[in-house]
Amino acid sequence: MTAQPGPVPPDRPASGIPVRVRPEIAALPPYKQGRQAGAEAFKLSSNENPFEPLPGVVEAVAAASAFNRYPDATAGRLRARLAERFGVTDEGVHVGAGSVSILAQLVQATCSPGDEVIFAWRSFEAYPWLAVLAGAKPVMVPLAEGARHDLDAMADAVTDRTRAIIVCTPNNPTGPIVTQAEFDAFVERVPGDVLVILDEAYAEFVTDATAVNGLREPGGPPRANVVVLRTFSKAFGLAGLRVGYAVGHPRVLDAARSTSIPLSVTGQAETAALASLDAESELLGRVAVVAERRDRLAAGLRDIGWAVPEAQGNFVWLPTAGDTVEVAQAFDEAGLIVRAFAGDGIRISVGEEEAVDKVLRIAASVVSDLPEAHRARG
Ligand code: PMP
């Protein structure tokens, strides 16, 4: 017998959700993924690695076929490998199903309802959402000149309700890094009991020697309140397998582990990460190719007058402001799927070599077709 839904009480909110949901969750727009590309189009909307997986990595994953069994809950082999590499104990590493899941765990572990999470804006789209999920208040500090973090303003925004601060470098979606000197001065100003999450999802693409590197010294981040986040999704090309990691104080990571959904990291993901570390020099060779394409793309865009900020990730940012939707449409019609942030700008991932020239061609045509749009910022 099929259960019939009961009558909906007249006081049900207008969200269209038939059950009682936390109001702040009901108010969130439903998640929208970057559009999947058709056969002809280039998908430049999710900062993915354009290179296909290495055959050795594919073979290792195929061999990890005992998936009638649950995986190792701690991803112990990968954890030990990363611990050795960064000169920390195994407890100083935490592996998650993508670094975004560790972000969620850290926010969950630190924030009670009404607490505050500070981050720059615009930055990674997940940040406000993760704060809201935890019942916390997102405190969004506008980017400074050059679409860079305004770390002074972020330190000024700390209150006695602040529990976590996220620093994204290079900043997704705008591109600039935070320098080591800026970060060091910033953490000096942050109370030692406030968690600082250094989100280095794009660290491997950075070519600016002044950039912060939270893992440059063996022994992990020098301060106990700093956790560094890295991922295998971007430089290592494992976005579809979901594996990222954090390095930090073991007790802070224990708190994250306490909030995690057990067994989320699959054996295949762990195996692929280990095989990718084995093939690291080859993979970093590909990263260098992407970084070179990025520099060429950014330089080409600047040559035709676009005010592209420093680009240190695997993407570039077009500050299209009020013309974002029209400009994104022009890319879309040309078979280039980009990520548009209406009213603000467009993030274009650095993808296949053929896509570089195509992006430059369309960006140039926008200059002639939408002269007002472009002149405002050229
Ligand atoms: N941080 C930043 C800044 C990102 O851009 C992303 C992915 N877009 C992530 C974290 C999460 O990556 P993943 O969960 O695939 O490791």
pLDDT tens digits for 223-272?
999 999 999 999 999 999 999 999 999 999 999 999 999 999 999 999 99
Fold matches, 33-51+281-373 and 57-278: no
Q: What is the model's pLDDT at position 375?
A: 47
What parts of the chain have a pLDDT lower than 50?
A: 1-2, 375-378
pTM of full prediction above 0.85: yes
Q: What is the model's pLDDT at position 158?
A: 98
Q: What is the model's pLDDT at position 260?
A: 96
- Looking from the CA of residue 233, the nearest atom of ligand 1 is 15
Q: What is the model's pLDDT at position 35?
A: 66
Instruction: Determine if ligand 1 sits within 6 Å of the CB of residue 315.
Output: no
Q: What is the model's pLDDT at position 367?
A: 80
Residue minimizing CA distance to atom 9 of ligand 1: 100
CATH code of the region 57-278 = 3.40.640.10
Q: What is the model's pLDDT at position 332?
A: 95
- Residue 188 CA, ligand 1 centroid: distance in Å: 26
Domain ranges in the chain are 33-51+281-373, 57-278
Instruction: Determine if ligand 1 sits within 6 Å of the CB of residue 231.
Output: yes
Instruction: Print the SS3 string covering the chain.
Output: CCCCCCCCCCCCCCCCCCCCCCHHHHCCCCCCCCCCCCCCCEECCCCCCCCCCCHHHHHHHHHCCCCCCCCCCCCHHHHHHHHHHHCCCHHHEEEECCHHHHHHHHHHHHCCCCCEEEEEECCCCHHHHHHHHCCCEEEEEECEHHHECCHHHHHHCCCCCEEEEEEECCCCCCCCCCEHHHHHHHHHHCCCCCEEEEECCCHHHCCCCCECCCCCCCCCCCCCCEEEEEECCCCCCCCCCCCEEEECCHHHHHHHHHHCCCCCCCHHHHHHHHHHHHCHHHHHHHHHHHHHHHHHHHHHHHHCCCCCCCCCCCEEEECCHHHHHHHHHHHHHCCEECEEECCCEEEEECCCHHHHHHHHHHHHHHHHHCHHHHHCCC
- Residue 135 CA, ligand 1 centroid: distance in Å: 21
Fold classified for 33-51+281-373: Aspartate Aminotransferase, domain 1 (3.90.1150)
